[in-house]
Amino acid sequence: MKITNAEFVISAVGPDQYPEDALPEIALAGRSNVGKSSMINRMINRKNLARTSSTPGKTQHLNYYRINDEVYFVDFPGYGYAKVSKSQREVWGKMIEKYLLERETLQLVLLVIDLRHPPSKDDELMYDWLKHYDLPVCVVATKADKIPKSRWQKHLKIIKEALVMRAGDQIIMFSSEEGMGRDELWAHISRFAFP
Ligand code: GTP
Ligand code: MG
């Protein structure tokens, strides 16, 4: 995918702020600090359009990025960060749930998982929830640069088995640091965004 234009559009807290141009949307869900915002930057080859941080809890709203005027990435706040208060977690949970259940232009959810570790309970719940509502999911196992290549397949298998991944769902290995998986992920996204 050749990126000619990428821009931050809005940090939305609810439907009245979502863009109205009806372009297809790709959402990124996953644990706090797993690398969702970094993934957006790598996909568009920009260093810091999406704000990233080594401290979890950086992304706090539904952050919309418009790419080439033809697709949006929607960056979610991460889940599972203990230092975020219970009431804040509930607010984020409701905001994300509402988006996922009601957004008609949503085409695909990227469930971002750390390739180094087995999925957390929250990851498993998220995947099951998405499948319960029949949403198309692509699991993206990121930070692949952090483990030796010889262990990649074993780790992929652990993730697939722990999530009990459905036959139609893809899993793609990724590294925002090194760019691996970028072309494959764009190809996959294109199938959903531009069928
Ligand atoms: P929240 O917004 O808090 O939910 O986090 P996030 O999922 O958006 O994570 P973010 O992209 O901010 O990245 C968290 C940390 O992981 C940062 O220090 C990144 O530099 C690092 N990181 C993200 N992706 C990779 C990767 O593929 N490889 C390596 N080595 N580090 C990564
Ligand atoms: Mg983020």
Between the CA of 131 and the centroid of ligand 2 the distance, in Å, is: 23
* Segments forming the whole domain that contains residue 124: 6-193
User: Is the residue at 1 inside a domain?
Assistant: no
Cα gap 142→146, rounded to integer Å: 9
* Ligand 1 pocket at CB < 6 A: 30, 32-38, 52-54, 56-59, 77-78, 142-143, 145-146, 175-177
Measured from the alpha carbon of residue 39, the closest ligand is 1
The tens digit of pLDDT for each residue in 5-47 reads: 999 999 999 999 999 999 999 999 999 999 999 999 999 999 9
User: Is the residue at 117 inside a domain?
Assistant: yes
Between the CA of 158 and the centroid of ligand 2 the distance, in Å, is: 25
The token duo for 132 is: 């319960």
Which residue CA neighbors atom 16 of ligand 1 most closely? 35
Q: Cβ distance 143 to 152 under 8 Å?
A: no
| The three-state (H, E, C) secondary structure of 60-74, written as one string | CCEEEEEECCCEEEE
User: Is the residue at 68 inside a domain?
Assistant: yes
pLDDT at 48: 92
Q: What is the ipTM of this complex?
A: 0.99
Strands 62-67, 6-12: pairing is: antiparallel
Strands 71-75, 62-67: pairing is: antiparallel
The tens digit of pLDDT for each residue in 164-194 reads: 999 889 999 999 999 999 999 999 999 999 9
Cα gap 74→25, rounded to integer Å: 7
Residue of 57, 65, 124, 135 whose CA lies nearest to 100: 135
pLDDT at 173: 98
User: Is the residue at 161 inside a domain?
Assistant: yes
Strand partners, 108: 26
User: Is the residue at 133 inside a domain?
Assistant: yes
Residue of 146, 144, 176, 172 whose CA lies nearest to 46: 176
User: Is the residue at 138 inside a domain?
Assistant: yes
- Please tell me the total count of domains within the chain: 1
Q: What CATH number corresponds to the domain at position 89?
A: 3.40.50.300
Cα gap 177→154, rounded to integer Å: 21
